[in-house]
Amino acid sequence: MNDAFVRPESPSAPPVALTIAGSDSGGGAGIQADLKTFAALGVYGCSALTALTAQNTRGVQSVHPVPPAFVSAQLRSVLADFPVSAAKTGMLANADIIRALLDTLGEFEPRALVVDPVMLATSGDRLLEREAEALLIRELLPRATLITPNLPEAAALLGEGIARTRDDRWRQAERLLALGPEAVLLKGGHGTGPDAEDLLLGAGFSETFSRPRLDTPNTHGSGCTLAAAITAGLARGLSLPGAVGEAKGYLQGALAAGARWQLGGGAGPLNHFHHQMSININ
């Protein structure tokens, strides 16, 4: 009798996306939010952890970076076996982890790479060591298909103040594009006004994506979720504008559906499976 495992025939398999990010013990952001988003949008999710955090809705209490060699080991394990179509980065913690990521990307290049330049948590806690910022800008951003900074992150990357007007936001998007990524999505969630407007800029194209601003305290993980949703769309073969448009709609639904949740005492999480929850579980 042959006990060897035989892989069953399958007429199809889901597209695969990879998240390279930190763990949020509260489940609202980071790896947890990314994998929920991938699953909600029909994509099989793999992961490589860069840091463990003791974190809840009130803030980050402790951070434990993963040894860079083990980050590399996770990446090589996934990329050598799974057909990863798109990858995203989130919290990278320090320069040594960024170097480990860069070395591995030199061996395995996903078709699309979304870089969410996570520097600060919603609570204001720093998630990227300051000395790692220069390496992120110099080495990782030019490898990106898309970068997704919010307004404070864009200001930090450029070393200037937060953009206050629409013209200033476009100017900052142009300066970010000059750092080397194929495209920039400058998110407007930290702005003011009735609508949250995101600016998508690439070589030869520009688009705006606007959604009504929601009055909700539950925004923890919204940046991770948007970047993960874009990554899922790219893994499924959508164009970049198509992936961004779908992701904006998904995020809006997740924010609206979680607006009345009371989970934790701070900035609560989103409802990542809002379009699948028709059962009252109160």
Q: What is the pLDDT of residues 73-86, one digit of tens each?
A: 999 999 999 999 99
Looking at residue 11, what is its pLDDT?
56
Q: Is the pLDDT of residue 3 over 90?
A: no
Spatial distance between the Cα atoms of 77 and 79, rounded to a whole number of angstroms: 6
Spatial distance between the Cα atoms of 252 and 248, rounded to a whole number of angstroms: 6
Looking at residue 204, what is its pLDDT?
87
Mean pLDDT of 236-259: 93
Superfamily name with CATH number, domain 16-259: Ribokinase (3.40.1190.20)
Q: pLDDT tens, 129-179?
A: 778 889 999 999 999 999 999 999 999 999 999 998 999 999 999 999 999
pTM, two decimals, is 0.91
Confidence band of 192 (pLDDT split at 50, 70, 90): low
Q: Is the pLDDT of residue 193 over 70?
A: no
- Strand ranges of the sheet holding 195-202, from the earlier edge strand across to the other edge: 59-65, 44-56, 16-24, 84-89, 112-115, 146-147, 183-186, 195-202, 205-212
Confidence band of 10 (pLDDT split at 50, 70, 90): low
Q: Which structure tokens are listed for 170?
A: 């476009």
Contact by Cβ (8 Å): 157, 149: yes
Q: Is the pLDDT of residue 242 over 70?
A: yes
Q: Between 149 and 190, where is the model more confident?
A: 149
Would you kindly state where each structural domain of the chain is located, as residue ranges?
16-259
